[in-house]
Amino acid sequence: MQAVKNERGYVLIFVTVMIVLLLVMVGMGLDTGHLAYVRSQGQPAVDAAALAAASAIPTGDWSTVQTQATKFDPGASGNPNPTGNNYVSSPNNAITGSNVTLVHYEPTTGTVTTSGVLIDPKAPQNVRANGTRVALENNNPYGGTVGAAMKSPLFLTPLFNLLGYTTSGTADVSVSAVGVIRALPGMPIAVAQNQCGNDDATLDLQSGGKSNSGWETYYIENASTDQIRALWDNLPYCSGQPIVDIGYCGNLANGVNETIFNKNIKPMFKADPSRCYLIPVVKNPGNMMQCQKIIDWAQFCPNNKNDFKQGKLYGAVTCGQSTWTSRDTKCYVPLLVRDTKSGM
């Protein structure tokens, strides 16, 4: 039998197969880039919603927290920009209360938990809500309610159909963000550790070696009276109080400052007699005229003994507080943390 030696047409078959493979590879690359683009549209939306929702946690009202998360939706009430969020299908897949979950963030381990978390400001610190998780997803890895993932169209990947594989024309893209709040000090006054647990403490701000508290300046090299007064004047505006925590060393000042007592402390205490304040705790009593490290945080709740005349404050001192869970301040800093369970 004579072998067939006519090889004409082989190149055409080879080129056709290669073109199909190249189109599939290009399609995969383009679709991958488009999915990344869709994610980049949705991520800022959930970031902003999580920060806005977390900022409402001190209200103690769950409906307010949910409403805050929706403020950036297209056409949302109070949104100055009528277009609002602009991600794939954003008008039809808006962020709602179902997209929001209360969380407790533990900064020492970086873990986020949702089970048993309470928005009640008096809840135990280990289950007290200090953040929110907002997501566009079909499945919530923490359990609870969900909204819906963004559906991104796939343009060239369906070329797999030419090879006999069934592929979808869309892909789900999930995004999530966890926003938490961190309390700023409620008053720039530091108290010595020996006052912890004292339900009827006397915070002595006068000069002398027996002082158990002092004016906290948060400055390392300077503790001038002008700086102290500026901190108090800016306190109602959440300005000047830095983000500090255990281990920070700031200079203290000691002595009666009638201007602060009469201008700041007296009206503040009288405006809300039941309010408590987050204050730093230092180790050594006596010398409140030097840099001392913050070793703890305390809740100071004034009592009715305060006469604002003797350079002293009276009330209960409860230590073991945290800037991450305290509600004894009017000022908070919202920030984003990593959502490790979602890989974001």
Token output for 92: 């039809």
The reported pLDDT for the residue numbered 16 is 67
The reported pLDDT for the residue numbered 82 is 67
| Domain boundary assignment for the chain | 10-182+333-342, 189-322
Total-model pTM? 0.86
Long-range Cβ pairs for the range 64-67 (8 Å, 24+) = 65/100, 65/102, 65/119, 65/132, 66/96, 66/97, 66/100, 67/97
% of the chain residues with pLDDT over 70? 87
According to DSSP, the residues that pair with 183 across neighbouring strands are 332
- Min mean pLDDT across 56-65, 139-148, 290-299, 322-331 is at 139-148
Confidence grade of residue 155 (pLDDT, cut at 50, 70, 90): confident
Between the alpha carbon of residue 142 and those of residues 59, 60, 101, 149, 176, the distances in Å are: 24, 22, 9, 16, 12
Alpha carbons 332 and 335: distance in angstroms, whole number: 10
pLDDT in tens, 237-275: 998 888 999 999 888 888 878 889 999 999 999 999 999
pLDDT in tens, 47-60: 999 999 999 999 99
Per the prediction, the chain carries an average pLDDT of 87
The reported pLDDT for the residue numbered 143 is 84
The identity of residue 131, as a single letter, is: G
Check: CB of residue 127 under 8 Å from CB of residue 106: no
Alpha carbons 225 and 260: distance in angstroms, whole number: 10
Check: CB of residue 251 under 8 Å from CB of residue 220: yes
Tell me 35's DSSP state.
Answer: H
